[in-house]
Structure 1
């Protein structure tokens, strides 16, 4: 194969890269972290009181629900853990920014391509240390960029 064909094949592979969905509205988005995507997933939705994020930690089969507070005009916000079915609240809180498909800041009215968490990793490690005193690999979701991997229809 010539170098030109390798280049063309490489470009096609980049364009068709799995795991990246088109940008979408926040309430329809599923996010996975840029690194260790196979270990964590956030499904965003709306309930009667606003936006919620449901975070799955696949290694431990845990699900955490977060209430989402976001400034509609800036796309900056915070998530706060909500009590689980047993009434236990892990007390996790972290800040985030909504980003478009090019990683530029966007608002709730825009198309969301990524979300950037400021200190989610640290907040989860703190929670794990409070609850079990041991932190195992892939049980605390990372900070940083989480990409939209699925855009559900309304």
Structure 2
């Protein structure tokens, strides 16, 4: 009997695979697994297709550290530019004023960065690195639509910047 698509387990995503690779690298760096074990598990993580196989490759690792959300909050203008460390999860809150986050020279250590905007009025501008992939599907605006302006064709291998939240005006990402 042939398995129907509904019977097959869902395939793992590249984000799942990237997270597994990061966990293995952290476990090796912390001395929880040997170099040989790291090599074998990395091979498995990069070739498996199901979540159960991925879970088996990560078996016996310490539990993943809980992610923390960093919050930038102000009543008015918020600006971050230059070299700064971008957390895995970033929440930006402002009742009034403009927000400008420039990630083009920032230190981004995660394959995915979730940025939540909670803005009253005003607008947001987020400048991303050339190799970033941008997802603004989760962002809701009140007055004007958000826009994503790709400045240059993205190069493979960069971070995914997911922008979500709610704001009164418009967000420009590029």
Give the TM-score normalised by structure 2.
Answer: 0.21
Higher normalized contact order (CA 8 Å, seq sep 6+, divided by chain length): 1
Q: TM-score, normalised by structure 1?
A: 0.22
